[in-house]
Amino acid sequence: MIRLMIVALAVALALLITTPCAEGCSCTQREPVDFYCNMDYVALVQVRNVSEPFYEDIMEQGPRQNPVYDYKVDVLQDIKGTIYSNPLLTWKPLLQARSNSGLCGVTFLPDKVYLIMADFADNMKPWEDGLVLTSWSCAFNRYIDISNLQVASAEVQSILSFLLSRNFTCENVAEKRTLAKFFAQRSHSTLEKDLGDLSALQEKARNTQTDLQRNVDAQAGTDRLRKLLKAAFQK
């Protein structure tokens, strides 16, 4: 009886050691504005070509569960940054992404249009150098159906609605996040006083030339976004 218990325990330990742990992708709940402000590049693109899968580690042993794909894309419209400022990209702008959704991978389909939010990163092909665009499932990439251009334009503007705010800057977003966290930690009475002080400061800021100039710049950005979206969907 004791011998059987020892054998059972040994088998259980062996299975525990040899069985891989389950992995999954967990995305922190964030708004589109957070990704926009923290990523290198935002654009409307159309996927033109998808490569055969490859792997970052060509010497990897065992089953390969996270293949990578190259996506050659046509840029319909830059929204943040410009892909053409990167001289190390191939003849067509190159987007790379891992495909295993359980490991935060993302898949793009050929001939489809996407609003992408991506970073510049080292080429994941071990045999190639240079920089490419890279993205993942948490990065708020969105498929845009362009069969109805008016609906498509409205959808993009809805996702990027924060750009239409007259006083939008990424610095303002960061400041608001910090203030919200700060106020959440204060007592109710202290909060009322701080809010009063903040209101007075904001009123003073609205009367400064700097704040007026920011409003002018933000309005110009709003007008530019509307023109960019119109141009993108008319191509």
Please, are residues 184 and 176 in contact by the beta-carbon 8 Å criterion? no
More confident residue, 183 or 34: 34
pLDDT at 63: 57
Q: In the numeric block, which tokens belong to residue 59?
A: 């010497």
19-32: per-residue pLDDT in tens? 343 456 878 778 89
Strand partners, 72: 49, 94
pLDDT at 219: 58
pLDDT band at 166 (very low <50, low <70, confident <90, very high): confident
Q: How many CA atoms does the CB half-sphere of 112 hold within 13 Å?
A: 14
Q: In the numeric block, which tokens belong to residue 220?
A: 């110009």
Nearest alpha-carbon partner for 118 in 92, 81, 84, 157:
81
139-151: per-residue pLDDT in tens? 989 999 999 999 9
The predicted model scores a pTM of 0.66
- Write the Ramachandran bin of 2: left for phi over 0, alpha for psi from -120 to 50, otherwise beta: alpha
173-205: per-residue pLDDT in tens? 766 666 555 555 555 556 566 666 666 666 666
pLDDT at 153: 92
Q: Where in the chain is the domain with CATH 2.40.50.120?
A: 32-147
Q: Which of 164-168, 178-182, 200-204, 225-229 has the lowest mean pLDDT?
A: 178-182
More confident residue, 35 or 12: 35
**What is the average pLDDT across 160-174?**
85
Question: What CATH topology corresponds to 32-147?
Answer: OB fold (Dihydrolipoamide Acetyltransferase, E2P) (2.40.50)
- Of all residues in the chain, the percent with pLDDT exceeding 90 is 31
Q: Which residue has the tokens 């409003």?
A: 215
In whole angstroms, give the CA distance from residue 29 to residue 21.
Answer: 24
Please, are residues 138 and 116 in contact by the beta-carbon 8 Å criterion? no
228: DSSP letter? H
Mean pLDDT of the chain: 75
